[in-house]
Copies of this chain bind each other. A is one copy, B any other.
């Protein structure tokens, strides 16, 4: 069996920590780490919705992803200094938002807005998947905050399910779970999957970085990913103090 550089087996996650309530300012927050990747997720709850949604009896959940300039091994110029947001940032922000909305009943949320900010403080591969996984915890707390403040009905079932995400990839022909930067940069195929607590897919994004892949490889990656997200779900439940 392949020995990975950090000693993990191919189907093993890096150590996961979720520091719930890290921020004393936000209505929900979590500092999540997948090994060396650390993402601060905050959820901002506002009563009311953007103008285009007013009067429809539905809420809105959106997300913004960003990376501190020295989260990575070499410093990147700030997007605020460049004056524009890069394609990768946009793409990941949109992905996180879609992932969260997939488990939210916006009618039950009522005319409230929740903005999730995922700021990568340190990056070592898998930042978007850590962001989604931590964002769910922040979101859950923000919803409870809204309920406590009576912006959300006491019995409204806003969350339909939980959601988490993980990266999988093929390196030297071997399917691996949760790739750190050193593996990710060498992967022939790279895939991010977003899965609900019930094990249904929300997003499957596979890209051939090196060689195109076939159906059998795709199936192996999906299987690895489903196992990984099931384990992440247990971390989320533990952080939220919920029973399985």
List A residues at the B interface (Cβ < 8 Å): 23-26, 29, 36, 40, 42, 44, 46, 64, 66, 68-75, 78-91, 93-94, 98, 102, 115, 117, 119, 121-123, 161, 191, 196, 198-208, 211-215, 218, 222
Contact = CB atoms under 8 A, between A and B. Distances in A.
6 closest A-B pairs by beta carbon, nearest first, are A87-B90, A200-B212, A79-B80, A42-B70, A44-B75, A80-B80
B203 A208 contact: yes
Contact of A91 (B68, B94, B161, B215): B94
Nearest to A45: B75
Task: Count copies of this chain in the complex.
Answer: 6
Contacts of A71: 25
Contacts of A212: 102, 161, 196, 198, 200-202
Contact of A73 (B25, B73, B207, B222): B25
A222 B217 CA distance: 13
A80 B66 contact: yes
B23 A122 contact: yes
A204 B206 contact: yes
Contacts of A68: 40, 42, 117, 119
Given A42-B70, A201-B206, A203-B205, 6 more contacts: A44-B69, A64-B78, A80-B89, A84-B85, A87-B93, A102-B208
